[in-house]
Each structure stands twice: as structure tokens, then as C-alpha cells.
């Protein structure tokens, strides 16, 4: 095989594969996003790891049931979160990275998926618009944490 021929094959392969990797029109798949970007810390079913990664199953659906809760969840994904926080009586002081690089649609889809984990009630929806309005407001780690503290006091966050 000539070098030029090999290059052509490579180019064809790249063009063939490209659309599957980067197509902007693809529908966001919350379950796949969760498996690829969240499960390594929060666990495949969202159970977390006591003392290190807080559980999400059964909690995020409850938090997302109110508009303030939805805004908080989007703020965590866009800005990240740095403890200390208290979840189910357990203290967490670790670091949640920002997922700002994901699109509004992807963040909404992964949160909507997490809201279904471990819940008995129908999971509340989270829209790309919910995420977009949160993204428009700059928040540092302290601001996200203050928002969380206020929502925990008012029992929006269990």
C-alpha cells in the first residue's frame, strides 16, 4: 500500500466516524452521560461513597421538585462544588469538578436522568432553559455553597 493510499483511507475513516463523535444535532442521552461522566465518583446507581462522594439516588429527584432546587443542581454542574456539606448526617469535604464544558442540553439531560435514580415518584423534568439561565450568572465556590446552605435550611435539599 502506498503512503498516499494509506492517508486516503485514514481520512475516509475520520470523516466516517466524525459525525458520530461531534454531531451537534444529536439528542442528549442522560444515562450515557451519567455512565461516562458521573458514575466513577457517584457510583453506577448514584449511591455515592460515604464520606467521599455524596449519594444522589433518591435525593436529586426531591431537590429538583422545586424551581430553586433545579437552579441549585444546574449551578453545581456549571460551577462545581467544594464542601464542607452535610448529606444525611454525614459530612463531605471533597471537590466536585465543573461540567461547564457540557452543553445546556447535556447538563439538563444528565440531571433529569439522575432525578430518576432511586425515586418512587415521577422524576421532575429539567430543561436546557433552566440550565442556560443559571449559566448566565457567574458564581464562585463560596456562592454555590451559600446557596446550598440556604436551601438545606429551607428543606429544599434533604
Interface residue list for ligand HEC (CB under 6 A):
37-38, 40-42, 53-54, 56, 60, 73, 76-77, 81-83, 85, 87, 92-97, 99, 110, 114, 148, 157
Write phi, then psi, for 28 (nearest 5 degrees).
-70, 135
What's the closest the beta carbon of residue 38 comes to ligand HEC, in angstroms?
A: 3
What's the closest the beta carbon of residue 47 comes to ligand HEC, in angstroms?
A: 13
H or E element that contains 63 = helix 60-63
Q: Is 17 exposed, middle or buried (0-12, 13-18, 19+ CB in 10 A)?
A: exposed
Write the DSSP symbol of residue 115.
T
| Under 8 Å between Cβ of 47 and 88 | no
| Under 8 Å between Cβ of 144 and 97 | no
Query: Which of 6/72 has CB closer to ligand HEC?
Result: 72
What's the closest the beta carbon of residue 150 comes to ligand HEC, in angstroms?
A: 12
Query: Which of 60/131 has CB closer to ligand HEC?
Result: 60
Query: Which of 87/134 has CB closer to ligand HEC?
Result: 87
Amino acid at each position: 500500500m502506498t503512503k498516499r493510499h494509506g492517508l486516503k483511507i485514514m481520512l475516509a475513516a475520520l470523516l466516517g466516524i466524525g459525525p458520530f463523535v461531534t454531531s451537534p444535532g444529536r439528542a442528549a442521552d442522560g444515562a450515557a452521560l451519567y455512565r461516562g461522566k458521573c458514575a466513577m465518583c457517584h457510583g453506577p446507581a448514584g449511591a455515592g461513597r460515604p464520606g467521599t462522594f455524596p449519594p444522589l439516588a433518591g435525593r436529586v429527584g426531591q431537590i429538583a421538585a422545586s424551581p430553586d432546587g433545579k437552579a441549585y443542581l444546574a449551578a453545581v454542574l456549571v460551577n462545581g462544588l467544594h464542601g464542607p456539606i452535610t448529606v444525611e448526617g454525614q459530612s463531605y469535604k471533597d471537590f466536585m469538578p465543573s461540567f461547564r464544558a457540557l452543553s445546556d442540553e447535556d447538563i439538563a439531560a444528565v440531571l433529569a436522568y439522575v432525578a430518576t435514580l432511586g425515586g418512587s415518584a415521577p422524576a421532575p423534568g429539567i430543561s436546557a432553559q433552566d440550565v442556560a439561565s443559571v449559566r448566565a450568572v457567574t458564581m464562585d465556590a463560596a456562592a454555590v455553597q451559600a446557596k446550598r446552605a440556604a436551601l438545606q435550611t429551607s428543606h429544599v435539599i434533604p
